Structure 1
């Protein structure tokens, strides 16, 4: 943000998300590296801000890096198998100590309220406890994992009761058994199981990587579990990214609406992902964040907002609300998280077996993703399904775009009679036709 005005503009655009997130349940995983040195301070402040905005927060904290350092200092080298270490009593003593220290550090930071700190005036209550039940990993491929365990169940009712009282819940990577034992757990698994048990609205995984990238190193903003599966297969199974991606896919398949992969290295990642339309990291979801669909009557306001600038500069013929409501069944739209960022219409002239491709529009900020081509392909699909032989379009500004997509210039007489009668000769629109 370079000026106060750009901040105000950002704040205005974030207001729908502030309202949408209020009362929602977010499970946030913070890996141990994120809290070392001074790195954890800004994260703590962002979590406190989310709390004040009415978000119900469950924070799972990792301790792997801190435990590694404690073991190295004591000259201990744990046995590793299948991506986990064997937690014998000696290892487990360090795990329990570090988990307690880390929990106390977090509670202290979340209690900070000095006048010169971002948490001034915020009273934030935290709670932790035996909220995750565990069972031992047991013996696998001849290796006894001893006190390394996996989640048996999450006490969702107890956590919800705390959240309803505006309490922030802290979950360490530890679990408790009915026999009174404590087990070392994978923090990412705790986060995933908690999100599923709580039917959380979001699972947020803060790790080293800023998300998933394609072969050209471009950040992938959104993926479904099936789309992410090939990338998961290509990752080192013991890497943090593979672990997070696997957890994200499992969470999506078990009902968590959205899982976000973010980097703790970016101090703006958490708030940037939650309060901007495009986000900063990668989101794994079963439900499309951006979808091409038939228009509905509730889209009229969004269509008017999208079309008005293009009508003002003469690219499109002005359309009234009444006209759009009357013709809404002719439109397809691209909906990006509740915002209409693209549209096109197919007006049918069934007697002539032709259709008019009209009102093709894409929001200026989203014109780099071949969305116009997607709209054209959908209109062509609908036209073919209805047995139309040709598409025609009228344009004053974008003749070359239509030519590049298979249309050819045609005469005024190529229009069906009803469309010739409604033609605005003052605009002198070019006529283009594409056979189907």
Structure 2
């Protein structure tokens, strides 16, 4: 249906995510390269928008390019080992100065409330402080790293209290020791430990790359830590990819539900990832957000939504809510982020040692991804487990799909007696049979 205002449909489709994100805790890393580009203000505006929608935000920012530029201007060439520079006294002075300057710059922009600006009317309280405790890297392989450090502990309770007061917490890549020293930290490491300490719902890493791609250039939308770890090991030590994948994998293993790898170059990446079903980047998660499982009564509403367009086109026989509720134990569903996008049923005829593959359907937006094959394989496994010797299907529109998957055309006599008696002669469905032995 056409609409005068295309954004209205987007807004309607994003409403479940607006509701789902309210009250959730997100830790967002913005690398220093983004803060040195023209993209930094739109990014802050999007963070302010998330705040107005009730998201609890911790922002961690990087400073590497700014420090590198300052060091080059003074002719200082920092010593680098495995991607970390050795932060001696001269380097640390620049690190502290630039971290303070960028913090003030970010706070100032998040305070902007002039009319005709995106932050008009938004009152954001931004707080930073000694919320990350650090320890020195010390001497490694004979090299004294001086003020280069790593996270020892995050003051999670203090941060959580600030978030409960609707405060945006802003953290530079610095840590403080019990001896009163300041240490240079990796921003990704800070973001990872803060997300783990808070048990954050999301860790969002905004870097140079637009997610991860396979060898053919196809975006990999979802990976487990086990799948992402080889990519981390292949990345150059200290590279942004290595740092981000390391943080993502560790966070996932320690209870952070989802880590998102996005590009700050894309003006719409942050909102596109959070408020659309498929997102725009790569997500690292321990648990698949698209899963095949047995249906429950709670899925009946989603099944009705999925099947209605196919029933209206005559591809499937109409099924009432009562029928679906009665037969729900026969169904498998593919759920994607709370939405039923595929289903299939196995109706048993044990006296004939046969099963009927019925109601195979995939949402129009998700066809072409082998989800039908996934449903068929699962139903074949269940049929064999029950000792069935054959699987049959009735179809009016998708004969070739079944033929390509090992079914053969047969006659009504091949059906179990009970199914033959209930055959709808008006539809003239084709009978397809697949032996399972």
TM-score bucket of the superposed structures, by smaller chain: over 0.9
Call closer, same or farther: CA 1:59–1:4 in 2, change over 3 Å: farther
1:167 aligns to what? 167
Answer yes or no: is 1:371 the counterpart of 2:359. no
2:42 aligns to what? 42
In 2, the alpha carbon distance for the partners of 1:100 and 1:206 equals 21
- Report 1:316-395 matches (<5 A): 316-395=316-395
Deviates more, 1:297-306 or 1:34-43: 34-43
- Report 1:55-94 matches (<5 A): 55-94=55-94
- The number of aligned residues is 435
1:3: Cα distance to partner? 7.5
The CA RMSD measured in Å over matched residues stands at 0.9
In 1, the alpha carbon distance for the partners of 2:368 and 2:298 equals 26
1:4: Cα distance to partner? 5.2
SS at match of 1:190: helix
SS at match of 1:381: helix
2:294 aligns to what? 294
* 8 Å contact kept, 2:208–2:265: yes
2:189 aligns to what? 189
Answer yes or no: is 1:114 the counterpart of 2:114. yes
SS at match of 1:204: strand
In 2, the alpha carbon distance for the partners of 1:91 and 1:212 equals 33
1:233: Cα distance to partner? 2.6
In 2, the alpha carbon distance for the partners of 1:354 and 1:301 equals 29
In 1, the alpha carbon distance for the partners of 2:360 and 2:236 equals 44
In 2, the alpha carbon distance for the partners of 1:267 and 1:221 equals 19
1:244 aligns to what? 244
Deviations 1:85-132 (A, max 9, x none): 000010000000000000000000000111010000111000000000
In 2, the alpha carbon distance for the partners of 1:209 and 1:201 equals 22
In 2, the alpha carbon distance for the partners of 1:404 and 1:121 equals 60
* 8 Å contact kept, 2:335–2:342: yes
- Report 1:122-137 matches (<5 A): 122-137=122-137
- Report 1:221-240 matches (<5 A): 221-240=221-240
1:402 aligns to what? 402
TM-score after normalising by structure 2: 0.99
In 1, the alpha carbon distance for the partners of 2:419 and 2:334 equals 27
1:228: Cα distance to partner? 1.3
1:28: Cα distance to partner? 0.2
Unaligned runs of 5+ in 2: none
Deviations 1:345-382 (A, max 9, x none): 00000110000000000000000211111010011011
1:219 aligns to what? 219
Answer yes or no: is 1:24 the counterpart of 2:17. no
Unaligned runs of 5+ in 1: none
In 1, the alpha carbon distance for the partners of 2:82 and 2:140 equals 9
1:242: Cα distance to partner? 1.7
Answer yes or no: is 1:422 the counterpart of 2:422. yes
1:133: Cα distance to partner? 0.2
In 1, the alpha carbon distance for the partners of 2:237 and 2:209 equals 15
TM-score after normalising by structure 1: 0.99
